Amino acid sequence: MRDIDHLVIAVADLDIAARHWETLGFAVTPRARHPWGTENRLIRLGSAFVELLAPGAPRPEDERDHPGQRYFGERIQVTRARGGGPCGLALTGADPQQDVQTLQTALRSGGITAKRLGDV
């Protein structure tokens, strides 16, 4: 059994989403920026957390310094275009490659096809 590290939720506006969580009684971290161009705010839930995520303003160094990472930002954009919501789940594990294979097998046995799985 794997533990959940964090759930990623794509949002249209980080500050509005953070205020919503704060009104529910959760502490939300200040805005932070990933080096590949997305911005986030976190809600701690014990050893796990929820990551509110949105694309940041584009910077030339994002693609230059992290080629290929724009996929992640594009996935966020697609989820946001559908109204936002969960777009990623990170699990803990000692053998990520084996975990991906196990999850893919379990999903297929339930008739589910993941378009992209295994960013480890």
Q: What is the pLDDT of residues 60-119, one digit of tens each?
A: 666 666 565 555 666 676 677 777 788 877 888 778 778 778 878 888 898 877 665 555
The CATH number covering residue 17 comes to 3.10.180.10
The answer to whether residue 111 is domain-embedded is no
Q: Total structural domains in the chain?
A: 1
Structural contact between residues 20 and 11, judged by C-beta atoms closer than 8 angstroms: no
Structural contact between residues 10 and 107, judged by C-beta atoms closer than 8 angstroms: no
Phi-psi region of 104 (alpha: psi -120 to 50; beta: other; left: phi over 0): alpha
C-alpha pair distances (Å), 36 with each of 29, 40, 73, 107: 19, 12, 8, 29
Query: What predicted TM-score, i.e. pTM, was given to this entire model?
Result: 0.74
The answer to whether residue 99 is domain-embedded is no
Residues 27-30: contacts with CB under 8 Å, at least 24 apart = 28/52
The answer to whether residue 109 is domain-embedded is no
The answer to whether residue 103 is domain-embedded is no
Structural contact between residues 38 and 53, judged by C-beta atoms closer than 8 angstroms: yes
Domain that holds residue 36: 4-92
The answer to whether residue 77 is domain-embedded is yes
The answer to whether residue 82 is domain-embedded is yes
Q: Look at residue 24 in the predicted model and tell me its pLDDT.
A: 96
The answer to whether residue 64 is domain-embedded is yes
